[in-house]
Structure 1
Amino acid sequence: MRAVVQRVTEASVTVEDETVGQIGHGFLVLLGVGQDDTEADADYLAQKIVGLRVFEDDAGKMNRGLLDVGGELLVVSQFTLWGDCRKGRRPSFVAAAPPEKADPLYQHFVSAARSAGVTVATGRFRAEMQVSLINDGPVTLLLDSRKEF
């Protein structure tokens, strides 16, 4: 499972001119599910992201986590994180999980984050979405449950 995590002051996701998810201060998480991912991958990434200490403390150091600052998550599914661009000009998505596997794992990730005490908003799985954000910092991190990068 892969995630792009952006620290934001606000973020929202829109489907067909309707805002379906919106947060203030926190993380926008673009989440991609791979062929071999399991619930253990979703649990690992949810805990890792909730625990990331990238919010400033009183000394101005990145030392506080999402729960410390009362931050929220906006989680948006994005299978293109599994796009392989090493050959040619058109990405291959064969490593991405099919929707019938990806959706339950995406939902499991959301549930795991909520169980950790975080307010979580979401996009709409398999929908064409427009994502808006104000990146704070900017702080952007790449995470992989298999620790491939």
Structure 2
Amino acid sequence: MRIVLQKVSEGSVDVVDETNGKADTTFEPQHIGIGYVLLVGVEDTDGAEQIDWLVRKIANLRVFEDENGKMNRSIHDVNGSVLSISQFTLYADVRKGNRPNFVKAGAPAHAEQTWHGFNDALRSQGLEVKEGRFGSHMRVRLANDGPVTIILDTDELGV
């Protein structure tokens, strides 16, 4: 799995109606205050081991400031929330040509199941998790705080 984690003071997502480019009224826009916006990419080889490692890391990552201005507090310590967005484009391969190749991105059925499993595992850690809608055109808005942006890739980390 590949995740771009952004520490935010706020974040939101809405789904765009493909026919008219306006907000899709069948999707209730999601909003969080302080916490993380996670852009989540899944490969076909990803499963429980990758989810478990990432959830432990994300739930305990200390990137929020303490009273001395040091990044020493976790998302739990600040009562933060998570906004999770499925994003297959994190697996874009642009080495050849100008059109990205997405061959490493997980098959949609597996990717959706894994992404939902990941979100549920975050919830099992006591985190409030809001989601975009898998496979949809979304508009994500965020106020990156710091800025703090961290890339977690289970392939590179040997998980």
Question: Shorter-normalised TM-score: what interval?
Answer: over 0.9
Partner of residue 31, structure 2: 22
Instruction: Give the CA deviation at 1:78.
Output: 0.1
Partner of residue 142, structure 2: 133
Counting aligned pairs with the same residue, the percent is 48
CA distance in 2, matches of 1:20, 1:112: 22
Partner of residue 47, structure 1: 56
CA distance in 2, matches of 1:31, 1:46: 12
Amino acid at match of 1:113: L
Q: Secondary structure at the match of 1:96?
A: coil
Tell me, which stretches of 5 or more residues in structure 2 are unaligned?
17-22
Report runs of 4+ in structure 1 exceeding 6 Å deviation.
none
Instruction: Give the CA deviation at 1:35.
Output: 2.1
Instruction: Give the CA deviation at 1:148.
Output: 4.9
1:1-149 equivalences in 2 (<5 Å): 1-16=1-16, 17=23, 18=25, 19-148=28-157
Aligned-pair Cα RMSD in Å? 1.3
Q: Which of the pair has more CA radius of gyration?
A: 2
CA distance in 1, matches of 2:139, 2:8: 16
**Number of residues paired by the alignment?**
149
TM-score, normalised with respect to structure 2: 0.90
Deviation string 1:83-119 (CA, Å, 9 cap, x unpaired) is 1111111111000001111011000100010000100
Tell me, which stretches of 5 or more residues in structure 1 are unaligned?
none
